[in-house]
Chain A
Amino acid sequence: MKVRVVRNILEANDRIAEQNREMFDQNQLFVMNLMSSPGAGKTSLLERTIDHLKDRLRIGVIEGDIQSSFDAERIAQKGVQVIQINTQGACHLDGNMIREAVTQLDMTDLDLLVVENVGNLVCPAEFKVGEDMKIMILSVPEGDDKPLKYPLMFTLSKALLINKIDLLPYVDCNIERIREAASRLSPGIAIFEVSCRTGEGLEAWYDWLERRVKSLN
């Protein structure tokens, strides 16, 4: 005998993410879920972004790592609120981890909360944390085939930063191919070609992000 169920396997996480979202909305807090593979430049982008925007926006960061607190220490030097989550092996952050972490933050004193996810192009896309939007970084040494190899994450992202463009002369990467695939996967996605090392191209990203955060507040 079959018993009809029809329930989403991720319903428990989706429910917690929805509660997080309501809590963030009540605090007029804009939340960005930042995703990429390991080493693409999430923390470097955050350091630059905080330096540029911290006089105009109150920024907080939740750092997700499997182990260690190197990234949180880098961010703490910028003088913003930062919480480290060690996932003890799990390859992504989920709604529950974020719900617990934010109890250590003063949300009333923040305009923008960045959740720096665990470096991974696969499963962070499936687990909502209650974010307003997902943002991705892809660095050019990773190759221009990544959008089509990991389509889900690109499909769900509102912006894509193509990082390390200062390395373009040394790697085989066709930026147009990335742009075309990302735009097909996520129509209207904002794409920024940047170098977090030299600072090239980041102005447009800062402006875009600031407008997004202020349109909510």
Chain B
Amino acid sequence: MSFMHEMSLAQNIVDIVQEEMTRHGVEKLQAINLAVGRMAAVVPQHLTFCFEIITENTGLAGTALHIREVPLTYRCLACGHEFTADEMAFICPECSEADPKLEKGRELTIENIEVAD
């Protein structure tokens, strides 16, 4: 337990990764690649920090945690225009209708694991 919820996320990452390592008969990892949406309630540095702490003295110690931040991606329901934004968008820059729908930006996904040579 920790005041940072990134600790629960780090524990979940370890659980899933260990399950995948067993499934694929992998013993040592070089890196874990994550996709984290800009709107997910996650601070990447906190997550990396928590991951380092809970994997200390385990088989995953030293495994790099790479976080790919996914920008907010919208598709306008009025004209179909797709665009990305740093902040929440409410108006389509193409047709000015107030119909953009958030398609990406909430991800909290383990995309793949890289096996050490």
Interface of A with B (CB < 8 Å)? Answer: 1-13, 66, 87-92, 94, 122-123, 125-127, 148, 151-152, 155, 184-185
The reply to whether B109 and A8 contact each other, CB–CB distance below 8 Å, is yes
The reply to whether A4 and B5 contact each other, CB–CB distance below 8 Å, is no
* Nearest CB on B from A71, distance (A): 19
For B12, give the chain A residue with the smallest CB separation.
A9
* 20 extra interface residue pairs, beta carbon distance < 8 Å, beyond A10-B108, A90-B3: A1-B114, A2-B115, A5-B20, A5-B113, A6-B110, A7-B16, A9-B9, A9-B12, A9-B108, A10-B9, A12-B12, A90-B1, A90-B8, A122-B5, A122-B41, A123-B5, A126-B5, A152-B40, A155-B102, A184-B88
A13 to B5, CA, bound (A): 13
| B90: A residues at CB distance < 8 A | 184
* In the assembled complex, B13 has its CB within 8 A of some CB on chain A: yes
Instruction: Knowing A1-B115, A148-B88 are in contact, say whether A126-B16 is a contact too (CB < 8 A).
Output: no
A185 to B3, CA, bound (A): 27
The reply to whether B112 and A5 contact each other, CB–CB distance below 8 Å, is yes
* In the assembled complex, B4 has its CB within 8 A of some CB on chain A: yes
A122 to B5, CA, bound (A): 10
The reply to whether B3 and A89 contact each other, CB–CB distance below 8 Å, is yes
A107 to B5, CA, bound (A): 29
Give the residue of B3, B15, B39, B112 whose beta carbon is less than 8 angstroms from that of A12: B15
* In the assembled complex, B111 has its CB within 8 A of some CB on chain A: yes
The reply to whether B41 and A126 contact each other, CB–CB distance below 8 Å, is yes
| B110: A residues at CB distance < 8 A | 5-7, 9
* Nearest CB on B from A129, distance (A): 14
